């Protein structure tokens, strides 16, 4: 077993997280979509293609189609084919598993590298409490159908105090479903979580460090690569901001383009599409925040998720918060 510490800052590639609509059939308790800041429109295929083309001159470029629920978009299959034609290195679709518009029959495993399914519980009761009644069975059926049709699948598990107790059940669960990759996500206090002030959903540092690395290792022991956000740095560890050293872009259907997902609840976007052209926004924006160097590590975390931090008696932080894009990957060596 090898623990590979991966700085997932895309230093040698570009990642496009493309929200082609914000509409969704579910009402998840931790949803980060904020229609006021992200828009309520569904992008046309023409706009999707032009926006994809704006990044096509970059090397090793990957696109992740998101929503809302991206399979609700009637032309998702055409968007996938457009990305492939533009030379994107990999194409992923993040989905809740309902797989609308018969999407699996409109694309092939050669065109989509992964269908990535969101499931937030190893049991029907826990998942449905978080994501909505019926969502557990729908997601499992979607995974099984995708596997039967030859698609690679990954599973995303957003950890909160509502479901961390079921992580120990996930390894065999994933193996049974023949999942190819497992992603553990940390819940962010943005979107619905911020609006409802659900900071109590966040997992404390001691619990995170006690549970998450062990869970990832157990999954990897079964031959499934497991990735999770580092989240916490020791005081002497070096902090890096992906906004300064990486090439990640988070696109929303109202034209906003962010470099940092923690900024998405605010009009801090550094780029915007206007008339289908990508332009820089005026100051002050997220780029100005990336340059700030503070003892706590991530500036945006200090501003909007300060509950994550603890301080010593002398006022210095006990630890730093890592950039949310910094991941650790556990693989079976």
| CATH number of residue 196's parent domain | 3.20.20.70
Beta carbons within 10 angstroms of residue 311's beta carbon: 12
* Dist CA 250 CA 67 (whole Å): 11
Which residue has 């390894």 as its token pair?
A: 171
Domain span at residue 14 reads 2-331
Q: Is the pTM of this model over 0.85?
A: yes
143 Cα distance to chain centroid: 18
Q: How many domains does the chain have?
A: 1
* Dist CA 183 CA 319 (whole Å): 24
CA dihedral 59, 328, 222, 1 (to 10 degrees): 110
Q: Which residues, listed in sequence order, are joined to residue 330 by a DSSP beta bridge?
A: 3, 226
Which residue has 């010593």 as its token pair?
A: 312
* Dist CA 323 CA 182 (whole Å): 20
Are 71 and 290 in contact by the 8 Å Cβ rule? The answer is no
Counting other chains too, the contacts that 200-204 makes at CB distance below 8 Å and 24 or more residues apart are: 200/161, 201/29, 201/30, 201/160, 201/161, 201/162, 202/160, 202/161, 202/305, 202/307, 202/308, 203/159, 203/160, 203/161, 203/164
Intervals of the chain under pLDDT 70: 1-10, 189-199
Q: What is the pLDDT of residue 332?
A: 85
């Amino acid at each position: 077993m090898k623990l590979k510490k991966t700085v997932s800052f895309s230093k040698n590639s570009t990642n496009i997280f493309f929200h082609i609509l914000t509409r969704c059939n579910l009402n998840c308790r931790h949803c980060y979509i904020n229609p006021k800041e992200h828009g309520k429109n569904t992008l046309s295929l023409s706009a999707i293609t032009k926006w994809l083309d704006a990044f096509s001159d970059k090397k090793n470029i990957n696109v992740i189609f998101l929503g809302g629920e991206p399979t609700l978009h009637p032309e998702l299959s055409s968007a996938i084919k457009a990305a492939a034609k533009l030379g994107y290195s990999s194409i992923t679709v993040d989905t809740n598993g309902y797989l609308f518009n018969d999407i699996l029959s409109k694309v092939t495993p050669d065109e989509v590298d992964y269908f990535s399914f969101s499931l937030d519980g190893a049991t029907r009761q826990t998942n449905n409490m978080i994501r909505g009644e019926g969502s557990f069975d729908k997601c499992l059926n979607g995974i099984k159908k995708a596997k039967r049709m030859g698609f690679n699948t990954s599973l995303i598990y957003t950890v909160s105090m509502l479901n961390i107790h079921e992580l120990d059940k996930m390894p065999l669960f994933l193996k049974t479903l023949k999942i190819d990759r497992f992603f553990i996500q940390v819940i962010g206090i943005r979107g619905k979580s911020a609006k409802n002030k659900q900071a109590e959903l966040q997992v404390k540092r001691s619990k995170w460090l006690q549970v998450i690395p062990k869970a990832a290792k157990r999954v990897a022991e079964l031959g499934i690569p497991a990735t999770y956000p580092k989240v916490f740095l020791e005081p002497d560890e070096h902090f890096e901001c992906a906004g300064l050293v990486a090439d990640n872009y988070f696109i929303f259907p109202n034209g906003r383009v962010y470099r940092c997902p923690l900024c998405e609840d605010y009009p801090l976007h550094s780029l915007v599409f206007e008339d289908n052209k990508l332009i820089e926004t005026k100051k002050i924006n997220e780029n100005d925040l990336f340059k700030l160097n503070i003892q706590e590590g991530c500036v945006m975390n200090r501003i909007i998720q300060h509950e994550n931090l603890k301080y010593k008696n002398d006022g210095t932080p006990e630890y730093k918060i890592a950039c949310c894009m910094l991941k650790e990957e556990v693989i079976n060596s």
